Structures are given as structure tokens and as C-alpha cells.
Structure 1
């Protein structure tokens, strides 16, 4: 009888600890996301970029080509050159490789994929999408940055790609949602503490733009661009 009570007590303590951890995480998400950084930065408005969300995931949208960086030299997609020349922007995001490749719709999500992503056990990937134009809206915010800060953003994004021994990007062949996008191997692992939105928020920090102190969700970024 005593052993049953002890077992129940241990089980209760484990459940209680788990609930406390969830509450701490939830309060951290809400509280740290509201803390602004880089709010007082003044700069020349020289390069147009965007932050774009699909309601869950945030991409950084940049010009395909300018004097600082020509992304088309390394990032390709399955289109003819004539159509390629019509594209003006490229949306770039970092995320869990399993989510990206195996979960095109939420209905495709498997428990194993979610578990590996939440615990940082899987690898990551970069998703790149070429766009003809970008329109500002509630889910897409326009930002004007200086050339110096854009260079910092370029360095951050470049460093997120995994490269081979010849310093070339490692394209994940045959994978993509459409003809204008592609996937590449990336550095780091996705987890509850480092999500696709954390990556985008860190990119904005590196470029000296408004950002959250820390956030794992898109709202933590966009609340600073109301």
C-alpha cells in the first residue's frame, strides 16, 4: 500500500513539474516577446525589405539583386531564364527540415515530426521562394534599412546556410512546393526555444531593426510593426 502511495506521489510530482514548465514557457513567450530591442535606431532608408508571415511562419523578403548581394548566383529554382528575369524579390526562411519537407499541410503533421522538432532532435533547412512583387499588408510589413544594416542581414542569412567542402549551398534536390521555390540544408536545430520565428527575429536584431527580446511565434515580431 505504501509503495502505491509513493508511486502516485512521484507521478503527481512529475505531472506538476511538467505543468509548471509549460506555464513558465507560456509566460516567457508572452513577456519576452513584448520587450522591444533596437527601437531607437536611426538610419538611412536605402534598401527595401519585408517581413512576411503565413500566420505561423515568418520569412525575410529581400531584393534578389542589388549592389550588396545577388542571391540568384547561388539560389536557383525550376524556371526558364526568361521567367527568372521577371522575379524581383526572394523570401527566405529557416525551419525544421521535417516540417518543411513532410508537412505541406497541417493535416500531414505526424506526432513523430512534432516531437523531433520540439526537442531539437531533427535537422533544419532553408526555404527560398522567388516573387515578382510584394504587397504590404497586415501579414507583410515593409522596412527600409541602410546599406550597412542590409549587409549585416545578408551576412546573417548567408551564415544560416550549410555549405559543402567547396563552399557551395547544398540544395535538397527535387523538393519544393511550387516551381518558384527550393530547399537547402541549413545550420542548427529547431526546438521550442529556437523556431523559424526566432530565426527571423534574430535576423532583424542583427540588422539593427525593431525586434522582440526573444520570441518563438510570429506575433512576437509583428507586434513591434503595428
Structure 2
């Protein structure tokens, strides 16, 4: 009887601990994401145009394929995509969990093992790069103009997010791409409950001295600062 009571207490304590953590986590996510960083930034009228792009869950940073500061097509090559279309003008970068990217094309394909590894930080990460011919501003696509100095800082942040070998980024050889204009590369770091794809984007915006959340894990935590 004593053993049964002890077991029950352990189970109850574990459940209450999980519930308590979940409540604190959700409150922190909702609260801290509302705290602005660089809220009073004044963007130049002329400069380099970049975009914050969301699909409703995941966010990317979009930059020009080529300008006087950086020619991204020398790093993220058109030939690495299925379409090999060299007419693109923009390149989107999205950091995220490798398992999610490669093994979960839809939410119906999500496995518990993939979700657990991602949440716990036990899996590796990948950089998803997508070429676009044009960008259209809207509720989920925000344009901003930044200075050369800010763009150089952003370029450095993105470059440092890739894993490299002999000074070259490492393409992930897979057919698990989303279309003819995207490609995956090995990335640094691990996705977890406190550092997600949107946290990476938020950090990129901070690096470029743009409006961002103090901390966020979801896309609305960034987009709310651009309403």
C-alpha cells in the first residue's frame, strides 16, 4: 500500500511539474514576445531592401541574390536547385530543425520521435534556402530598407549559421525539397523549445538593427512588431 501511494505521489508530482512548466512557458512566450527591441529605429529612404517572410508558422529572412556587398549565388548556387533557374532576384533563408525540414512535409507526417528530438535539442539543424523572382508585400511579407553597414552585419550572421567544410557550405543531398527553387544545407546549432526557426529570424533582425521581439519562438511574436 505504501509503495502504491509513493508511486501515485511521484506520478502526480511529475504531472503537476509538466503542467506548471507548460503554463510558465506559454505565459513567457506570449509576454516576452510583446517586448520590442529597436522599436524606434529609423530606416534610410535609400538602401538595401530585405524582407521578413512568414508562411503562417515559420519565418524567413529574404535578401537580394546579388549586390555590391554580397553575391549569394556564389555560395547558394542556382545549380543546387532542381529548377536551376538563374533569373531569381531574391533569396530566402530559413534556419530550422533538420528532422522537421526533411521528414515532415506536412503536419500529418509528423512523428513523435521527430517532435521530441526537436523540442529537446537532440537533433541537428538545417538551412532552407529558396530563390524568388519577386516579393509581394502583405500581411505575411514585410519589407524594410537597411544601410550597407546593417546589411553587412546581417550577411555575417547568416554566413555564420551555416556549417562549413573547407570554407564551403555543405549541401544536404536529399529529394525532400518543397519545389524547384529551394535547397537545404547543413547548419549550426540545435532547435529546441527556447530557440526555434523564428528565434533565429528574430536574432537576424536584431543583428541588422531592425524591429524585433526581445525573445520569441513563434512567427506572430515577430510580425506583431511590424503591424
Deviation of the 1:44 alpha carbon: 2.3
Residue in structure 2 matched with residue 34 of structure 1 by the alignment: 34
Gapped runs of 5+ residues in structure 1?
none
Output aligned runs, 1:1-226, within 5 Å: 1-45=1-45, 46-76=47-77, 77-78=80-81, 83-84=85-86, 86-164=87-165, 166-175=166-175, 176-226=177-227
Per-residue CA shift, 1:39-65, capped at 9, x if unaligned?
A: 122342411000111111000010000
Deviation of the 1:146 alpha carbon: 1.1
Per-residue CA shift, 1:50-106, capped at 9, x if unaligned?
A: 01111110000100001111100010233677x31x210001100000000111111
Q: TM-score, normalised by structure 1?
A: 0.95
Q: TM-score, normalised by structure 2?
A: 0.95
State the SS of the aligned residue for 1:52: strand
2:40, 2:30 → 1: CA distance? 22
State the SS of the aligned residue for 2:62: strand
1:111, 1:32 → 2: CA distance? 28
Worse overlay, 33-42 or 20-29: 33-42
Per-residue CA shift, 1:150-204, capped at 9, x if unaligned?
A: 111111000000000x110100123322221100000000001110000000000
State the SS of the aligned residue for 1:143: strand
Root-mean-square deviation (Å): 1.2
Gapped runs of 5+ residues in structure 2?
none
Count of aligned pairs: 223
1:202, 1:27 → 2: CA distance? 21
State the SS of the aligned residue for 1:95: strand
